[in-house]
Structure 1
């Protein structure tokens, strides 16, 4: 048995089999949390999202797209609750992880959410600047949809929704 020098390190080893079960449970909890959030049951939704994070955060790298999405969901919940500082903190974590993982859709969605926080604080120029970051096809219009063309961007970028 020879050595080729390519031993797995703990940081790049494949996830343990129980991670798949934890991930499945975390996604289920996240889905339930979104439903509760939509119904205005914010405290219960917050508890479920924290349980979901407790399941996957210790087992996943900080650049994991699921963890980033959960952080983004928690930020959205706090935004709905009017807890802008908490929302911004979780969105920032999600953005950092998404950028490290090069998850462009998550980057764009999180930037839009950060812009929503800025708008809620009446920081309209900051909100507009956040919406303009990134590649032109990674921007979102005021309805949260990806811009369909450069002309659409020109028509919509000046409005801060």
Structure 2
């Protein structure tokens, strides 16, 4: 799952002592990540929905932590084949991430939306979503890639899908 840890680590860093609700949501999110990795999507969904309840009761829905949880929930739905639900949550995440100018979350969410389009065999739409950040704000299509934001010279580095982003740097 995408970027939960980043959003939570930012939230923890901004507080001298994280409150119990944030800590509970963080722990639920970590457990959901583990369940998702093992293919236990319904349990992961339940934990992410609970984490969202906890966070949304304490804070605005226009923050990076909520956007990251929405992105993770969208990913879970993508794994479950619930593409309409995935798209709905990913679009919510993208809206907040754009408003916050959180480029790492934007690229992660755009890549997940491209995966939804690809699952629907909407290959041109998937390509367009992946190209939105070109050349400097792109994310590798390989979920295992830990490079984060990619710049045009990095597109072939991970050995996974970076080269399959359907994009070539124009000759200069």
TM-score calculated relative to the size of structure 2: 0.75
Cα contact 2:114–2:130 (8 A) shared by 1: yes
Aligned to 1:137, the other structure's residue is in SS state coil
Counterpart-to-counterpart distance in 1, 2:97 and 2:65: 10
Cα contact 2:127–2:165 (8 A) shared by 1: yes
Cα gap change, 1:40/1:151 in structure 2, threshold over 3 Å: closer, same or farther? closer
Q: How many residues align?
A: 143
TM-score calculated relative to the size of structure 1: 0.80
Counterpart-to-counterpart distance in 1, 2:109 and 2:154: 23
- Tell me which residue corresponds to 2:166: 158
Q: Which has the larger radius of gyration?
A: 1
Bigger relative CO (Cα 8 Å, ≥ 6 apart): 2
- Tell me which residue corresponds to 1:11: none
**Shift of residue 43 of structure 1?**
1.2
**Shift of residue 61 of structure 1?**
1.6
**Shift of residue 118 of structure 1?**
0.1
Please point out which of 135, 152, 156 is paired with 1:149. Answer: 152
In structure 2, the gaps of 5 or more residues are 1-17, 157-162, 168-172
Cα contact 1:98–1:104 (8 A) shared by 2: yes
